[in-house]
Amino acid sequence: MKKNGFIGYGSMGSMLINGFLKSGALASGETVVSNRTMTKIENLAVEWKGITITTDNRKVARESDLLFVCVRPLDVLHVLDEIKDDLIDSTHLVSIAGCVTINDIESRFPGQVTKVIPSITSEVRQGISLVCHSRKVAKVRMEHLEKLLGSISRVVNVRENDFEVAADFTSCAPGMIAAIFDCFVNAGLKHSEIQPDVAQRMVVSTLLGTAKLMAEKGIGFPELIGRVATKGGITEEGVKVINKHLPAAFDEVFFKTLSKHDLVKEMIKKQRIMVS
């Protein structure tokens, strides 16, 4: 019986594996996981009886019908070179490395390929999983993968050319949001005796409530701003400062992140040419 395979147990790989197993979308007895360091995955065998763990990527490739490659972008082609002789035409290969294009992957495996960008927020079954299927992926495979991802997130299909910006909106956003509100809290603490952990809880609860309000009531950003920042009020003064200074900061954010995407893509392109 073919299994669901995962190569790599880093931050996103571990989140996907544990999320799928906890949701019941995957059975532990039908799951095989490899990692270079066995000690990092030994806990899986303790927590999930029947799961197969190994340091042998080729074993995972041979045994898997659906195969997630969850390694760093610059390691993807090396892993594919290692396992390409163990893949068969019916294998559905899923890469979570945004900077590695479908064409890059198809240079090693000309079969059914999907790119997925998950979000750390799927640890609590929230957030977005970005998906882009190659033309070779059968409809039944698309539906199966998207149902699987839907057990821990909301699935959004995007064009591969839009992956970088979409990833900033989804996968990168939790880190950016945390950075923004860390600055926000630290600025406020200069003017009060509120303890940092108390202030953080205040802001986190407010973020949670804001997101819930917008999602459940279908409220957009401008409408919410208008409801809170009433004319002549205190919030309006803060919003004026934000509108004055943040647009330029976010222009630079996207310039930097998209430039880094391009740099990594170019490095992968050189890898591909050197080995081909």
User: In terms of DSSP H, where are the helices of 89-162?
Assistant: 102-106, 139-150
pTM for this predicted structure: 0.92
How, if at all, do strands 112-117 and 128-133 pair?
antiparallel
Q: What is the pLDDT of residue 276?
A: 54
Contact assessment for residue 275 and residue 76, using Cβ atoms and an 8 Å cutoff = no
Contact assessment for residue 112 and residue 141, using Cβ atoms and an 8 Å cutoff = yes
Using the structure block, give the residue that is written with the tokens 């952990």: 197
Domains of the chain: 3-158 (3.40.50.720), 173-266 (no CATH)
Burial class (CB within 10 angstroms; exposed 0-12, middle 13-18, buried 19+) of 65: middle
Residue type, 197: D
Beta strand ranges found along 8-135 (DSSP E): 31-34, 52-54, 64-69, 92-95, 112-117, 128-133
Residue type, 70: C
Q: What is the pLDDT of residue 275?
A: 61
CA 86, 7, 99, 261 torsion-angle sign: negative
Contact assessment for residue 134 and residue 102, using Cβ atoms and an 8 Å cutoff = yes
Per-residue pLDDT of the chain (276 residues; tens, 9 = 90+): 689 999 999 999 999 999 999 999 999 999 999 999 999 999 999 999 999 999 999 999 999 999 999 999 999 999 999 999 999 999 999 999 989 999 999 999 999 999 999 999 999 999 999 999 999 999 999 999 999 999 999 999 999 999 999 999 999 999 999 999 999 999 999 999 999 999 999 999 999 999 999 999 999 999 999 999 999 999 999 999 999 999 999 999 999 999 999 999 999 988 887 765
Give residue 84's Cα distance to chain centre. Answer: 25
Q: How far apart are CA 261 and CA 56, in angstroms?
A: 30
Q: What is the pLDDT of residue 65?
A: 95
Contact assessment for residue 170 and residue 127, using Cβ atoms and an 8 Å cutoff = yes
Tokens of 159: 């064009």
Q: How far apart are the first and last CA of the chain?
A: 33
